[in-house]
């Protein structure tokens, strides 16, 4: 009788998991969301105070730029913190590590 060679198990197959890329997409999405939230009050004032037309569009663009420009860093920090908390809590899809 010949002894059978020991059974070799195959290593688990590596799969592509773009956690870093997905994380960057979340940062960008949260950044745009926070920029919109920072500009929203000023944009609401413009829409309530002016009749629709090209002047309203120009005023809205100017007011939104002024509202966001000075607080751009706040939106960036908030986006990074929100993404970090979401990844740490495990609530953002696509960012969890292997189980």
pTM of the model: 0.78
Reported in sequence order, the residue ranges of 1-99 that DSSP labels E, i.e. its strands, are none
Indicate the pLDDT class of residue 80, thresholds 50, 70 and 90: very high
Over residues 36-75, the pLDDT tens digits come to 999 999 999 999 998 999 999 999 999 999 999 989 999 9
Which pLDDT value is given to residue 14?
Answer: 74
Which pLDDT value is given to residue 55?
Answer: 93
For residue 85 the two structure tokens come to: 């908390």
Q: Pick the residue with more confidence: 78 or 9?
A: 78
| Sequential DSSP letters for 32-54 | HHHHHHHHHHHHHHHHHHS-SSH
């Amino acid at each position: 009788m010949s002894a059978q060679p020991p059974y070799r198990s195959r290593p688990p197959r590596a799969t592509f998991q773009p956690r870093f890329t997905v994380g960057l997409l979340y940062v960008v999405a949260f950044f745009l969301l926070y920029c919109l939230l920072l500009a929203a009050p000023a944009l609401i004032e413009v829409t309530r105070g002016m009749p629709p037309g090209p002047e309203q569009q120009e005023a809205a663009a100017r007011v939104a730029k002024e509202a966001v420009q000075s607080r751009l860093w706040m939106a960036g920090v908030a986006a990074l913190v929100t993404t970090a908390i979401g990844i740490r809590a495990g609530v953002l899809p696509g960012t969890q590590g292997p189980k």
